[in-house]
């Protein structure tokens, strides 16, 4: 997250202060030159709002199409992703400044208002530039009347700093500490509450979790075992070896798709937490020998099964189940040189022959643990999604338990720390099938602070990974 604007700076560049106004660039005909950086950011918000697009899939294409690179691309990314993340906070301020409910504001204007308000509240961009560029965008598209409305609203927004708006609009921090932090860090309250519940006795870390969600995440690469080492990958990419996974390299930013080791397939992009999950399955102690029958029951797009395939030995193979054809195709691509067989079937009724030694159930989930990598996700997810996903998670875990051999291990994981999706699903399976819960923390050697066990919970603010949950279960 960018640093908040300093009040002193804001006060020195009020939109009405003509003496400080920079000259706006003009076309030879005297028209105002469109600010392409803000236009791209605005168009990302529009795609997210109108067609439920994913910001991180839309933005790179727009930047390429409009020839925006370097510092301009970095600013467009900051504005687009930042405004997506901060939407709840921005909307509360816009609503108050406009004096009308957010739903009564024309969506096309709202996109620009959000980009403008984001600059005012969460960046060091001067107030005049933030307001003028927004007004110009709206004037070019919709004319002076609507530009006047945007001007008036953003000038109101600029009258207070983010801290002052939070003091006015957020729930009381003593009576409703979770609601207050949720407002301050622009998270829906139900998500902040889910994090607090998962932190349990360490709910005091809630501020850190929410802040970590807003921070620009490092790019994590995986050095594919057998193809390249993490040390070599770090040298080739200018990155740093990750602290926990023996295959992880962290990059500060940039477009990993341009890197040679990624293009050749020697490395891939994968959160270090996900690497630890796949590795944990291979380290779990079995009752009896490992016959080499491994299964990934929820494999798409293939990150974890690629690591399982690379770690498989003695000519054994890994089965990968993925019901969505387009995602199964991604698994095939990611594992093209690896001993992995892809099955396009529903994991609940796969028709595969039971007797597996090791099964990964990396279940479909709310993704609340990876919000930092999906700018708009926190506002799209709904509390009602949880119950439906939990039903599917239970069914998939039950199917895995039917498929694993006695003495074999099922590793259940989610990229969500929501207790219903994590310990709730596991407790239900343990009770129904009489499973033994292994101390999963032992399968993550060298990783501290994984909770009270027997399951393990990773956190962005503690480990720099997505908030992955994992529980290793042995069938008696």
Ligand X SMILES: C[S@@+](CC[C@H](N)C(=O)[O-])C[C@H]1O[C@@H](n2cnc3c(N)ncnc32)[C@H](O)[C@@H]1O
212 annotated ligand binder: no
Closest CB 364 distance from ligand X, rounded Å: 4
Return d(Cα 452, Cα 439) in angstroms, integer. 10
Q: For ligand X, which is the closer residue by CB, 237 or 416?
A: 416
Q: Should residue 321 be labelled a site residue for ligand X when binding is judged by CB under 6 A? A: yes
DSSP one-letter string for 455-474 = SEE--HHHHSS---EEEEEE
Out of 234, 403, 415, 471, the active site residue is 415
Restricting to residues 123-162, which ones interact with ligand X according to CB under 6 A? none
Of 75-83, 140-148, 173-181, 301-309, the window that binds ligand X (rule: CB under 6 A) is 301-309
Restricting to residues 371-430, which ones interact with ligand X according to CB under 6 A? 396
Going by C-alpha positions, the residue among 418, 428, 357 that lies closest to residue 398 is 428
Q: Should residue 322 be labelled a site residue for ligand X when binding is judged by CB under 6 A? A: yes
Of 159-167, 211-219, 252-260, 299-307, the window that binds ligand X (rule: CB under 6 A) is 299-307
304 annotated ligand binder: yes
DSSP one-letter string for 28-89 = TTSPBPP-HHHHHHHHHHHHHHHH---HHHHHHHHHHHTT--HHHHHHHHHHHHHHHHTHHH
300 annotated ligand binder: yes
Restricting to residues 240-279, which ones interact with ligand X according to CB under 6 A? 274
Q: Should residue 327 be labelled a site residue for ligand X when binding is judged by CB under 6 A? A: yes
382 is written with which tokens? 């709904």
Return d(Cα 438, Cα 471) in angstroms, integer. 8
Contact 295, 318 (CB under 8 A): yes
Return d(Cα 228, Cα 222) in angstroms, integer. 9
Residue carrying the six token digits 């796949």: 278
Return d(Cα 227, Cα 244) in angstroms, integer. 19
Contact 41, 79 (CB under 8 A): yes
Active site residue 84: no
Q: For ligand X, which is the closer residue by CB, 327 or 461?
A: 327
Q: For ligand X, which is the closer residue by CB, 287 or 388?
A: 388
Q: Should residue 225 be labelled a site residue for ligand X when binding is judged by CB under 6 A? A: no
Closest CB 365 distance from ligand X, rounded Å: 6
83 is written with which tokens? 């405004």
The 10 Å CB-count burial string (b at 16+, else e) for 182-213 is: bbbbbbbbebbbbbbebbeeeeeebeebbebb
Return d(Cα 455, Cα 104) in angstroms, integer. 46
Binds ligand X by CB under 6 A, chosen from 265, 323, 424, 453: 323
Binds ligand X by CB under 6 A, chosen from 225, 291, 364, 424: 364
Q: Should residue 309 be labelled a site residue for ligand X when binding is judged by CB under 6 A? A: no
Closest CB 356 distance from ligand X, rounded Å: 15
Of 77-85, 110-118, 234-242, 320-328, the window that binds ligand X (rule: CB under 6 A) is 320-328
Closest CB 274 distance from ligand X, rounded Å: 5
Q: What is the dihedral of CA 348, 353, 356, 359, to 10 degrees?
A: -20
Binds ligand X by CB under 6 A, chosen from 46, 139, 348, 394: 348
Q: How many contiguous H segments (helices) and E segments (strands) does the chain have?
A: 21, 12
Binding-site residues for S-adenosyl-L-methionine: 298-304, 322, 346, 362
Catalytic residues: 415
Q: Rule CB under 6 A: which residues touch ligand X? A: 274, 297-304, 321-324, 327, 346-348, 362, 364, 396
Binding-site residues: 298-304, 322, 346, 362
């Amino acid at each position: 997250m960018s640093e908040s604007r300093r009040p002193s700076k804001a006060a020195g560049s009020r939109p009405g202060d003509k003496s400080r106004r920079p000259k706006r660039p003009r076309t030879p005909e005297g028209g105002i030159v469109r600010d392409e950086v803000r236009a791209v950011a605005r168009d990302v918000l529009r795609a997210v709002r109108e067609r439920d697009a994913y910001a991180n899939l839309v933005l790179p294409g727009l930047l390429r199409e409009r020839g925006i690179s370097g510092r301009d691309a970095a600013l467009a990314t900051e504005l687009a992703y930042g405004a997506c993340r901060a939407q709840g906070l921005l909307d509360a301020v816009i609503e108050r400044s406009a004096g009308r409910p957010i739903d009564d504001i024309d969506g096309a204007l709202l996109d620009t208002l959000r980009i403008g308000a984001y600059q005012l509240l969460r960046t060091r961009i001067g107030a005049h530039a933030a307001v003028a560029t927004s007004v110009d965008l709206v004037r070019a598209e919709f004319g002076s009347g609507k530009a006047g409305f945007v001007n008036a609203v953003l000038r109101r927004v600029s009258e207070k700093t983010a801290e002052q708006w939070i003091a006015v609009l957020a729930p009381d921090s003593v009576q409703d500490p979770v609601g207050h932090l949720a407002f301050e860090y622009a998270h829906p309250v139900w998500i902040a509450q889910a994090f607090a519940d998962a932190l349990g006795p360490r709910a005091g870390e809630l501020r850190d979790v929410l802040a970590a969600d807003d921070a620009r995440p490092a790019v994590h690469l995986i050095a594919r075992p057998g193809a390249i080492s993490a040390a070599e990958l770090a040298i080739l990419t200018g990155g740093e070896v990750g602290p926990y996974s023996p295959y992880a390299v962290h990059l500060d930013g940039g477009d990993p798709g341009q890197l040679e080791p990624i293009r050749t397939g020697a490395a891939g992009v994968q959160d270090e937490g996900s690497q630890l999950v796949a590795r944990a399955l291979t380290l779990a102690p079995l009752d009896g020998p490992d016959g080499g029958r491994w299964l990934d029951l929820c494999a798409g797009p293939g990150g974890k099964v690629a690591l399982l395939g690379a770690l498989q030995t003695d000519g054994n193979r890994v089965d990968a189940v993925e019901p969505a054809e387009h995602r199964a195709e991604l698994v095939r691509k990611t594992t093209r040189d690896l001993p992995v067989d892809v099955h396009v079937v529903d994991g609940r009724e796969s028709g595969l022959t039971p007797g597996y030694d090791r099964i990964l159930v990396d279940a479909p989930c709310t993704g609340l643990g990876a919000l930092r990598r999906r700018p708009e996700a926190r506002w799209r997810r709904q509390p009602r999604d949880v119950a439906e996903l939990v039903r599917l998670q239970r069914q998939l875990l039950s199917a895995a338990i039917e498929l694993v051999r006695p003495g074999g291990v099922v590793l259940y994981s989610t990229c969500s720390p929501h207790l219903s999706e994590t310990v709730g699903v596991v407790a239900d399976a343990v009770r129904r099938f009489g499973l033994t819960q292994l101390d999963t923390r032992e399968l993550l050697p060298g990783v501290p602070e994984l909770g009270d066990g027997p399951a393990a919970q990773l956190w962005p603010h503690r480990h720099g990974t997505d908030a992955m949950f994992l529980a290793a279960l042995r069938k008696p």
